[in-house]
Structure 1
Amino acid sequence: MSTPPLPTHTDELGSLPHDFPFDPTHGYALPRLLAVKAPSGPDDFADFWRERHASALRVDTAPRIEGPWTTVDGVRVADVSYTSTDGVRIGGWLTVPVDGRVTQGCVSTHGYGGRTAPDSWQSPPGTATIWPCLRGLGTRSLLPGVPSHSAGHVLHGIGARESYLIGGCVADVWCAATALRLLVPETAGRMTYLGTSFGGGIGALALPWDDRFRAAGLTVPTFGNHPLRVTLPCTGSGESVRTRFAEDPSVLDVLAYFDAATAARHIEIPVHVGAAVFDPHVPPPGQFAVHNALAGPRELLVLRAGHFDHPGEPAETAALEEAQRQFLSRVDPVVPGPTV
């Protein structure tokens, strides 16, 4: 899974007509984006996440199929729920092939808009996929006292690394993987991950510490390079964080533990990244910081724009989804070692 040649149509990757009060490229052309670094992070960054992962693995997820199975877009679909850390019950969906032949599993997460149904066409054929609504979001995992809109959700509990809600969302991914393996045992050994925007950043934070995942696709990932991100205006959740930082710069001490680019330095599995040169919602330098920091095999598909309607968008989206399906289809299963 080597990195393919970079696109030669860089002349087409410049700014698009818009009416934002800022430049969604932030002045970064592709060569500069490919040079964005990741913060090294706190000395105990890895220890912090390994402890949280170990705690999540001890959770009795008690997954449950809720309601009848239906058939949509060539897969069987059912509502599902499971327990995550802090006793939070997470809702979502499970999709399995109609013929019942499962060759791999996938945890697929969503953007900050949440999710109202699974996007079953995104998974490779033969995949059993769990589609959780991460805590406080979507139609299935709303929580009392937790804002469901991105501006409030991204700040909830940000006063301390232990209470920051983003950490709970990462744990929801680990617990989703546990739930999927209990519901569909055939997924053990070939687990993948898909995440877009919010889900892309959450995935980068979750993947380094969980060896059940064999490959991943991250699209326009957020939470990359917080020290740079808080200097860049945007229309997404990062604007709330930028405003909070202006009021209290010490917030970066907490955010340092939740930097998707820092986490990417620890990801050694193959990862496909779709990153946009123009994006008003998630600043492109943060997206590319995640890709650039990946420690393992990686593939990059450069998008003309993210979170923005533009000419050619349907074809670009279709090409990205097909590239990630092909990428995840090449996942090698875990081969058990000899029994001693």
Structure 2
Amino acid sequence: MASFVHDFPFDPAYGRTLDELLRIPAPAPPEDFAAFWTARHGEARAVDTAPEVGPAEEERDGVRLHGVTFTSVGGVRLGGWLALPAGGPAEHGFVIGHGYGGRRATGPDVPLPLPRAAAILPCVRGMGSRGLLPGVPDEAAGHVLHGIGSRDTYVIGDCVADLWCAASALQELLPELAGPGRLGYLGESFGGGLGALALPWDERFAAAQLTVPTFGNHPLRLTLPCVGSGESVRAHHREHPGVTEVLAYFDAATAAARLERPTLVAAALFDPSVPPPGQFAVYNALPGHRELMVLRAGHFAYPRIVAESAELTARRERFFGRWLGGA
């Protein structure tokens, strides 16, 4: 197991070895789990996203970055960025989720995993800098509890729908990327968990890469202290134990058990924000082609972070080159 000098009042490796992490299962789904998410997906696909693209804001790493807005479920208008190839048409498309905290106002990180690729990088509802919404907290501790009293009002379900609507907007803007199996998904932390929840139900995605995904194995997460959004959920659960019935519908590991598309997961052995047992539960549940890159740590600075980040970038490029490159 990974070990670092730190000042957290708990062990961010949670006493698990890699072998133990690779045996953590996904919780069983509620009986109507698939019906719930299929209905949510159908609602999102019926939205007229009416995307609008602004002028180019900058050009770097082989793409031009434009501001973009689109409509999601509930008539909510969201913003983000659209990355277009600097020269020539787009041959590949990506939807890219973000971590808790949203995206910087200075623009998203690129480059993309494949050349001649386009991407939409949405800010999901409540998250800055282009997804701010009145009444929805914009910081993780409050956001992760918004609407948690019911599966129908929980903000996490709406954020998943925001990703589906972002995919619709991208394919409307670039008809050459329309159709099933034409998109890839990238998501880290919060975006990784949302991706695991979103992808099983949407045939437009051919492959995905999830880095230190959150929301995996909620029953176990509720027993593990952390400094991320999970701690806010743990505190809420102590006062409202019935919330476990809602959380069961938003478990990324439970959803991953239905994700049959090729998926690359980067999971950490040590992570104070997203407990590694939950990350590995997502990977372990995947029934289709899966690849794992074990990181020494997540949400934590450590000596090999630059080298491991470069290795993950190379793995991501090879992975999407195999599963999306021929599209």
Is the 8 Å Cα contact of residues 114 and 137 (structure 1) preserved in structure 2? yes
Which residue number corresponds to residue 90 of structure 2?
A: 102
Is the 8 Å Cα contact of residues 184 and 206 (structure 2) preserved in structure 1? yes
Structure 2 residue runs without a partner (length 5+): none
Q: In the alignment, is residue 81 of structure 1 matched against residue 69 of structure 2?
A: yes
- The partner residue of 1:163 within 142, 153, 177 is 153
Which residue number corresponds to residue 26 of structure 1?
A: 14
The residue type paired with residue 40 of structure 1 is A
Residue 122 of structure 1 deviates from its aligned partner by 3.9
Q: In the alignment, is residue 133 of structure 1 matched against residue 145 of structure 2?
A: no
- The partner residue of 1:303 within 280, 285, 295 is 295
Answer with 210-219 or 324-333: which moved more: 324-333
Taking the TM superposition and a 5 Å limit, the aligned residue runs for 1:54-69 are 54-68=42-56
The normalised TM-score by structure 2 is 0.96
Which residue number corresponds to residue 113 of structure 1?
A: 101
Is the 8 Å Cα contact of residues 259 and 288 (structure 2) preserved in structure 1? yes
CA distance in 2, matches of 1:322, 1:113: 26
CA distance in 1, matches of 2:41, 2:326: 20
The residue type paired with residue 209 of structure 1 is W
Residue 284 of structure 2 aligns to a residue in which SS?
helix
- The partner residue of 2:216 within 216, 221, 224 is 224
CA distance in 1, matches of 2:13, 2:96: 28
Is the 8 Å Cα contact of residues 184 and 324 (structure 2) preserved in structure 1? no
Residue 332 of structure 1 deviates from its aligned partner by 4.6
Residue 330 of structure 1 aligns to a residue in which SS?
helix
Taking the TM superposition and a 5 Å limit, the aligned residue runs for 1:126-205 are 126-188=116-178, 189-205=181-197
Residue 223 of structure 2 aligns to a residue in which SS?
coil
Which residue number corresponds to residue 251 of structure 2?
A: 259
Residue 278 of structure 1 aligns to a residue in which SS?
coil
CA offset digits 1:25-62 (Å, max 9, x no partner): 11111000000000011000000000000000000000
Is the 8 Å Cα contact of residues 56 and 64 (structure 2) preserved in structure 1? no
Is the 8 Å Cα contact of residues 80 and 121 (structure 2) preserved in structure 1? yes
Residue 334 of structure 1 deviates from its aligned partner by 9.4
Residue 73 of structure 1 deviates from its aligned partner by 2.3
Is the 8 Å Cα contact of residues 218 and 248 (structure 2) preserved in structure 1? yes
Residue 67 of structure 1 deviates from its aligned partner by 2.9
Residue 305 of structure 1 aligns to a residue in which SS?
coil
The residue type paired with residue 50 of structure 1 is T
Is the 8 Å Cα contact of residues 98 and 188 (structure 2) preserved in structure 1? yes
CA offset digits 1:94-144 (Å, max 9, x no partner): 111111232210000100021121212143212110000111002001011
Residue 326 of structure 1 aligns to a residue in which SS?
helix
CA distance in 1, matches of 2:317, 2:235: 37
Aligned identity (percent) is 60
CA offset digits 1:210-242 (Å, max 9, x no partner): 000000000000000000000000000000001
CA distance in 1, matches of 2:168, 2:153: 23
Which residue number corresponds to residue 8 of structure 1?
A: none
Which residue number corresponds to residue 262 of structure 2?
A: 270
Residue 69 of structure 1 deviates from its aligned partner by 5.1
CA distance in 1, matches of 2:326, 2:148: 37
Residue 121 of structure 1 aligns to a residue in which SS?
coil
CA distance in 2, matches of 1:87, 1:334: 36
CA distance in 1, matches of 2:5, 2:97: 30
